[in-house]
Amino acid sequence: MKNIQSYKDKQVLVLGLAKSGYAAAKLLQQLGANVVVNDIKPLEENESAQSLQSIGIRVICGEHPPELVHSSLAAIIKNPGIPYSNPLIQKAVELNIPVLTEIELAYQISEAPFIGITGSNGKTTTTTLIYEMLLTGRKNPIIAGNIGTVACEVVQTASPSDYVVTELSSFQLLGVQTFRPKISVFLNLFEAHLDYHGTKKEYGKAKSNIFMNQTEDDYLVLNADDLEVQTLATTCKARKILFSSKQAIPSGASVIDGFISYCEEKVMKVEEIALPGQHNLENILAAVSVAKLIGIENDAISHVLKTFTGVKHRLQFVTSIQDRLFYNDSKATNILATSKALSSFTQPTILLAGGLDRGNEFDDLKPYLKHVKALVTFGETAEKLIRIAKEVGIKSIEHVDNVEHAVPVAYKLSQPNDVVLLSPACASWDQYKTFEVRGDIFVEAVHRLK
């Protein structure tokens, strides 16, 4: 860990706890900062705040007093989920106080280089693939960020020979200042999180922060088939490595003559890949690009791709019951993710979908519903999804209270060789704390059918 002096004797506010805020507060104290932690959860119910208080950190819980933000603050470390419309953040911006996220703090102290992965979809799968390829190739990867351990915890013991592999959201990337990954990956961009960013332009701008500090000594792996990503990357100084699942890329990663190829070198046959779905081919090509840049041998790459079947909650195969195949894609929190999941199958499908209403309609889902024989819907968006299902001629439509109730209903509507797919196309927050909770409930309900 770098012994930085940037925060020594400086006043720093940590706004919002959870795992990242808790880790950031402890690290800042270690770096000599005068730390104040503010969290909306009352102290008597807040174990993390109590723990920080016990080691001498000042905590203020249950409210957000405006006087916490003042001109003497050196920085605010903000929980990524807290919007910039928050009055304390607005006041900080007016006072020109840096508003950072934990990933920036982690980068500042890390001796290990970062590999950062962002995009609207596929981040978790690509991050996990890169980690597994580096692990198999004995390159000392550490997985951190949205998956794995909090980054500013793991980097404290990371060495220059390690690689910190991080999945990065637009929320995290809005709060970076000096963050500069050795390799950045920009998978795709489509309309998402507009309730947070306001416009797609601002959302894309936040995503592009992943490469804003990169130089000619760094690499940017990006999607040759996404014109908006290409446009955003025109300002990037890093060396660009393109990948494409639709066209041959002689100087990048693509499919040539049925082989995953990198710079025209055949890595392995596409037919040998264990992970289903055309969209996953994009994730694979991005991961292969990173692995080859780091010097991973083809044998290690192909071993991972022959054995890796997916991450939990992302098109995760659950089980087969009476020849029905059950898949958990709870991480599909938007239309694009669900459309890609549906495109992964050709057999008749019972779709379980619904959740938080962010104001959008679901017409873009229509082309992908051709083999959906039944819809079981729940949550705030149920009526919108029912309208779409009727318009495309789906005969069996059921409205249920929640995911748990959806599973037995879907089973009754299914026949042998059908797919039962949870792919909500919506965030979970109307009924469940996280998409992981939603997915776990689905998996438990499926196993109860046995």
The binding site consists of 119-125
- Report how far residue 156's alpha carbon sits from residue 445's, in angstroms, rounded to the nearest whole number: 40
| Element of type H or E holding 195 | helix 194-197
- Report how far residue 19's alpha carbon sits from residue 148's, in angstroms, rounded to the nearest whole number: 11
Do 185 and 119 touch, CB atoms closer than 8 A? yes
- Residue 11 pairs in a beta bridge with 34, 73
Instruction: Give the position of tokens 């299902």.
Output: 389
Q: What is the largest CA-CA distance in the chain?
A: 67
Q: What is the DSSP string of 354-416?
A: -----S---GGGGGG-TTEEEEEE-STTHHHHHHHHHHTT-SEEEE-SSHHHHHHHHHHH--T
Do 122 and 282 touch, CB atoms closer than 8 A? yes
Instruction: Give the position of tokens 């990357």.
Output: 233
Q: Which residue positions form the known binding site for ATP?
A: 119-125
Kindly state the DSSP code that residue 43 receives in the 8-state scheme.
G
Cα-flanking dihedrals φ and ψ of residue 167, to 5°?
-85, 130
Token pair of 121 as six digits: 């979809």
Do 113 and 139 touch, CB atoms closer than 8 A? no
How many degrees, rounded to 5, is the angle at CA 138 between CA 137 and CA 139? 95
Q: Where are the alpha helices (DSSP H) in 254-349?
A: 278-294, 298-307, 335-343
- Tell me how crowded residue 74 is: count the other CB atoms within 10 A of its CB: 16
- Report how far residue 159's alpha carbon sits from residue 156's, in angstroms, rounded to the nearest whole number: 9
Do 138 and 296 touch, CB atoms closer than 8 A? no
